[in-house]
Structure formats: C-alpha cells, structure tokens
Amino acid sequence: MNRRRFVSQSTLALGAASLSSHQTTASAGAMSDRLKKAVKYTMVDQPDMSAKDKFVMLKELGYDGVELRTDHKDELKTFLKAVDQSGLPVHGTVNSSNPDLETAVKFSKDVGGDSVLYVARYDRKRPLMDSWNENKAIIQKGLAAAEKHEVKILVENVWAGFIISALDAERFNDEINHPWFGIYFDVGNNVRWGVPQHWIELLGDRIGKLDIKEWNEKLHSSEGLRSGFKSELGEGTINWPAVCESLRGIDFKGWATAEVPGGNRERLADIAARMDKILELS
C-alpha cells in the first residue's frame, strides 16, 4: 500500500455538484457543506484597500478562504492580523516553480494553510527525464518540512508540456509515494491535454485541491490557443456536470480555488456566483 494512503485526505479533497441546467442525482446546493470556495489573493484588484479590508470583503462575498503566494512571506504579520480580524482563513500558498519548498511550507503553516502549490519545471533543452528526476529531487527535499509542519506539497498540471497525461501524473505521484505529496488539479488547464473528469477518475485521492477556470474549445479553434481561456466560468465547453459527477465519485471534500482574471468587489461577486452555479453550491 502506498504511504500516502495512511494520511486522511479529509482536509485536502473536494466534493462538488452539477450545473443546475444539467441536473444529475444531486440536488441544488447538495455539496455546499463539503466544498470550500476560495480565490487567489492576487485576484483582488483593490489597491487602496488594506489586507484586512480585502479579507473582510471576500468573506462578505461568500468565499470560505483565500490562497496567498510564497512571495507574501515578508508580510506574515499583516496577513495573520487580516485572518484574525476577518475570520477568513488562508488555506494554502502558491509557490509556483520556486525550488525552495522548505520556506514555502513553513510560510503556509505559519499563515494557517495546509498546502503548497508547486509547478514542476521543464527544461525543454534537456532530456525529459532530467526534468522528471530533478523535480522529484526538489519535492523529496521538501518533504521533511511538509511532514513536520503537516502541509501537503501539491504539484499542479500546467502548460509547460510536462506531466501532460493522467498516467504521467499518476506515475509521478506514485514514484514519490509520500503521504504529504499529491496533485493540485487545475480543471481548465487540463482540457488542452485531456478530459478533466477522466483525470479525476484515474487520480482519485491523489488529488489534493482544485483550481477552477473555464475553457472554450470553440474559441481555441477559431482564435488561437490561449483564447480558450476567454470564456467566463460556466460559459465555455467544460462539461461541468461530468466533472462534478467524477468528484462525487471519489468523494472529494475541501478547497476549490478560482484562478481567473480578478477585479473589484463587483467582479469578485460575479466569480463567486459563477462558482456557486458550476459547482452547485447554492
């Protein structure tokens, strides 16, 4: 049995339901007690607001939490104060491809998070397995800190051309084979490489958290590759009912974080409402 299966996934897994326009066996709002809705802190475009006021606003808009970046580590006291005064938790940090996972893990723990999002780097000028083994080494080096602080390192599927199939993700995860490592599954990023619900079914409890963004295959085909991300949540071609059905099938409970263009209060309220619809939270 893999070592990762000895650790409960209850704080890192995710459940969701289908779009109201495509009803399945779940009723509206059925997953609201299991799914936690969040945004990236960098999506809040209100430069005149303090961190505390931003946190208060997000809580008022119905978000359950927020995700910081490791770059915010020098503002730890500011964010701890914001959490305390708003009641809105930080659920994790985004470390991107920074190889210093020990620092990222410590910051996530200090600010109240339980995960670090890591983007596996890919040097296209060198053999593929060089990047594969180097990323494994970076993650393995950070796992002692992850275990000590009980903060999971989660590698995300991105457009680097690396880990581009569910079988790649499964193999990468299982070669590391550690209870404090897993997959940060980005639903929108996935569509270029595969079918989100199929990845979910295969990866199962290897998936720790979700990033939520939309994809529109029609815009991708007619306007160019990155145009696929132009559609608002719920207006693209992702089969959200199938995604949610797969999430229910593996009994996810935990965080789903929007990663879309942000903005002011009105924009963030719209994102929250769209998340409620596609993930059937209300």
Position 282 scores a pLDDT of: 87
- Residues 86-118 have pLDDT tens digits of 999 999 999 999 999 999 999 999 999 999 999
Q: For residues 223 and 247, give the distance between their C-alpha atoms in angstroms, rounded to a whole number.
A: 31
Position 11 scores a pLDDT of: 40
- Sketch out the chain's domains with CATH numbers: 3-278 (3.20.20.150)
Position 28 scores a pLDDT of: 57
- Residues 7-48 have pLDDT tens digits of 434 344 333 333 333 333 344 577 787 789 999 999 999 999
| Helix, strand and coil percent figures for the chain, each rounded to 5 | 45, 15, 40
Going from the C-alpha of 190 to that of each of 77, 109, 161, the distances in angstroms are 36, 28, 11
Helix runs in the chain, H state only:
51-60, 76-86, 101-111, 128-149, 166-176, 187-190, 196-203, 217-223, 240-249, 265-278
Average per-residue pLDDT for the chain: 91
> Whole-prediction pTM value?
0.89
- Residues 201-240 have pLDDT tens digits of 999 999 999 999 999 999 999 999 899 999 999 999 999 9
